[in-house]
Amino acid sequence: MNRDMLRINDALDPMDELSSHPGRGELRSKESEPMRTKSASMRLVMPLVLVCSVVLCDAQWLTQQVPLTPGWNAVFLEVQPEPRSCNELFKNYPIESVWKWDRRFSTIQFTVDPATLLPENPDWLMWLPPSEPRAFLNRLFELQGCQAYLIKVASNAAPLTLAIKGRVILPRLDWYPHGLNLVGLPVNPKNPPTFTEFFSFTSEVDTSLGYGNQLYRLESSGRGRQIVQPARERIQPGVAYWIGCARRPEHTAAIHVKPNGGSVDFGTLLSRNELSIRNPHPERTLTVRLQQRISEGAPLTGGFPEVAGPVPLSILTKDAASNWTWTEFPANGLTRDLAPKEEWILQLGLRRQDLTPFTPQRTNGFIYASLLEITDTAESILIRLPVVAQGAGRLLASGTAGIEAVDTQEGLWVGQATVSQVNAPAYTEDLLPTPAPLSFRLLVHVDGNGQASLLQQVVLAWDSTLVEPPHTNGAYAIYAETADLPANATNMACISSAAFPIMPPVVLTNYDTNTGIFGSPLAGTFVVRYDDPVNPFLHRYHPRHDNKNWTFEPYSEPVETRTIQRDLTLEFTPVTNAPANPFWGVDSVKGIYHETFSGLRAQPLRVQGEFTLQRISRINRITP
């Protein structure tokens, strides 16, 4: 059995073979080169080049430097190019053609010799420069990240480097067994591994066969050279190789990275995301290192959001007492030893309160973006993972730069206040500790404009008549009064507080700015009428405290009871004991609770304590 010493004849050019070709669909070989096939008459065929399934986030930018030499180059793109257009990417470069395998028609790649490529071949997508008369045959118009390409540089050109700026993507390579795959591998340029080292984690690719190895690379001269000493030859980043496999490898590299949902995208709402890192090797321990990097800026053209800054990350770890706690992502990175087959579930948190304020200069919006570089301690493997988040703000108007503030704390907040101090007006105006703390429920709603209101009760219900966009078949709504519930309401749940009288929502405002922005000190006032059933002076059956005359007719003014005025203040405080907690200030807040009662006695009664609130819904409107 013989195997071709595969050869790319750089003296032949696909541009010279636009008519019938006697060898089309076959592998070229020299009679003087030994051939090793499954049968004497069988020619070596090669399967589909590469299929890549990726998830793209809005923007995490990196520039890949692609070195090119005159003749043919096998290139692997690690980023999603922007712009994607071949005409844009290759203009002003001496590039004669670009080729990409198209698996729609066949799963068999007929050759690794670019000299046999023809523009009419349906199994290949091709790009020719617009100046080329045969450019009307083009079927390759855009480049995709995580794909392999054959690029032909003019033979009289000097070596060049193609700088391709694009979005970082996390690839998943689909291998096809019993043949060769044209693939690039995620290796670290600092210390790239040998083929033997890289594939030591899996048995699907055998590198121990010497001249029987199914490993090939493209030399600068244009020759396809078999790699017979994989233990010495190192894999180069951004270079595509022909690699055979007996079975489909389960993992792309020795480090298996799988973010929850396909990407670490916090969007505008999430505060926590999950990342899985696994050592797939059945016997070896692997040391994994994570480092957060800053994303490059977005291109000025293409309508991409501007990069406002890095994503402030926290991680959930155990402290010395084995308690789970949030800490900031270490500046020098994370390192962890993974036992064979061990999986590390890393909880990542976004500290939205630490997002850098930003005013965009253009009208495309803005995002916060970072990169997570995942490698081993030898720095031989390198996997880049995009991390993105959106901050508060929306564009002012179409074609206008700048942003309008958007309240990110809208919704329903439920928690409790705990009173632990009270004054004794008969003795002192100072607050004194209470014999025991008093806790009661606290309900606050923040609308779409950031206006906060105190509620006595709230009802959450499904209303099938709410069909305005983006809802199509109904939606949940919240109501402050049970009388406002529609007749068709279903799935109802009610939350109330016995510490407040039955009342409409009480608007809370800042006593300095007269605004109701949640997070600033908020104050509100409401009255407990003399005839309110919850008035502590009103007793239904006591003749001296029922506020009725001797004929049991109610008085129209407070005679036997009193009207009570309650003035409360919510003073928000930063969380100093857990500043890395991504939920504090976003979905959880706390502060000092103040309240003054007037009318209970001659002097006002003041109480103080702490309050905590947790956001349980993002519905920013009280119906009706």
Q: Tens of pLDDT along 331-377?
A: 999 999 999 999 999 999 999 888 888 888 888 889 999 999 999 98
Is 484 strand, coil or helix? helix
pLDDT in tens, 421-473: 999 888 888 999 999 999 999 999 999 888 899 999 999 999 888 877 666 78
Question: ω into residue 582 within 30 of 0, thus cis?
Answer: no
Q: What is the pLDDT of residue 78?
A: 93
What's the confidence (pLDDT) of residue 85?
Answer: 94
Region of poorest pLDDT, from 246-250, 356-360, 608-612: 246-250
What is the rounded distance in angstroms from the CA atom of residue 590 to the CA atom of residue 574? Answer: 8
Give yes or no for a contact between 443 and 456, defined as CB atoms under 8 angstroms apart. yes
**117-121, 166-170, 274-278, 586-590: lowest mean pLDDT where?**
117-121
Q: What is the pLDDT of residue 401?
A: 43
Bridge partners (DSSP) of residue 458 are: 495
Band of pLDDT at residue 513, cut at 50, 70 and 90: low
Task: Specify the pLDDT at position 142.
Answer: 94
Asked if pLDDT for residue 239 goes beyond 50, the answer is: yes
Give the total residue count for the chain.
624
- Name which of 140-149, 168-177, 294-303 the model is least confident about: 168-177
- Does the structure show a pLDDT above 50 at 109? no
Looking at residue 212, what is its pLDDT?
77
pLDDT given for residue 375 in this prediction: 95
Q: What is the mean pLDDT of residues 81-108?
A: 82
CA-CA distances (angstroms) from residue 551 to 555, 560, 561?
Answer: 11, 15, 17
How confident is the model over 201-230, as pLDDT tens digits? Answer: 877 888 888 777 888 888 766 677 888 889
Q: How confident is the model at residue 113 (pLDDT cuts 50, 70, 90)?
A: low
**Angle in degrees, CA 92, 96, 101, rounded to 5:** 120
Quote the pLDDT of residue 38. Answer: 33
- Cα–Cα–Cα angle for 293, 296, 302, rounded to 5 degrees: 145
Contact between 282 and 218 under an 8 Å Cβ cutoff? The reply is no
pLDDT at residue 242 greater than cutoff 60: yes
Statement: residue 524 has pLDDT above 60: yes
Instruction: Provide mean pLDDT across the span 44-68.
Output: 58
For the chain, give the mean pLDDT. Answer: 81
Span 532-550, pLDDT tens digits: 888 888 887 777 788 788 7
- 481 Cβ neighbours under 8 A, 6+ residues apart: 457, 504
Is the per-residue pLDDT at 7 higher than 70? no
Across the range 14-23, mean pLDDT stands at 31
Distance, CA of 461 to CA of 483 (rounded, Å)? 13
Instruction: Please name the helix (run of DSSP H) or strand (run of DSSP E) that holds residue 198, with its range, or none.
Output: helix 195-198
Task: Please name every residue paired with 165 in a beta bridge, in sequence order, or none if there are none.
Answer: 63
- Yes or no: say if 27 and 45 are a contact pair by the CB < 8 Å rule: yes
Q: Please report which confidence band the pLDDT of residue 323 belongs to, taking 50, 70 and 90 as the band edges.
A: confident
Q: What distances in angstroms separate CA 217 from CA 7, 93, 204, 406, one per listed residue?
A: 10, 24, 19, 54
The pLDDT, as a whole number, for residue 44 is 27
Average the pLDDT over 160-186 and give the result. Answer: 85
Non-local (6+) Cβ contacts of 261 within 8 A are: 55, 273
Q: Is the pLDDT of residue 22 over 50?
A: no
Question: Per-residue confidence at 75, pLDDT binned at 50, 70, 90?
Answer: very high
Contacts of 523 (CB under 8 A, 6+ apart): 508, 509, 510, 511, 567, 568, 569, 570
Q: How far apart are CA 383 and CA 169, in angstroms?
A: 9
Give ranges for CATH 2.60.40.10 in the chain. 256-404
Instruction: Find the mean pLDDT for residues 472-488.
Output: 87
Determine which of 174-178, 551-555, 581-585 has the lowest per-residue pLDDT on average: 174-178
Q: Give percent of the chain above pLDDT 70.
A: 81
CATH 2.30.40.10 describes domain 256-404: no
- Rounded to an integer, what distance in angstroms lies between the CA atom of residue 398 and that of residue 373? 37
Amino acid at 338: L
Q: What is the pLDDT of residues 260-297, one digit of tens each?
A: 877 799 988 788 999 999 998 888 899 999 999 999 99
Give the model's confidence band at 111: pLDDT under 50 very low, under 70 low, under 90 confident, else very high: very low
Distance CA 518, CA 540 (A): 39
Average pLDDT over residues 312-328: 88
CA pair distance 121, 104, nearest whole angstrom: 12
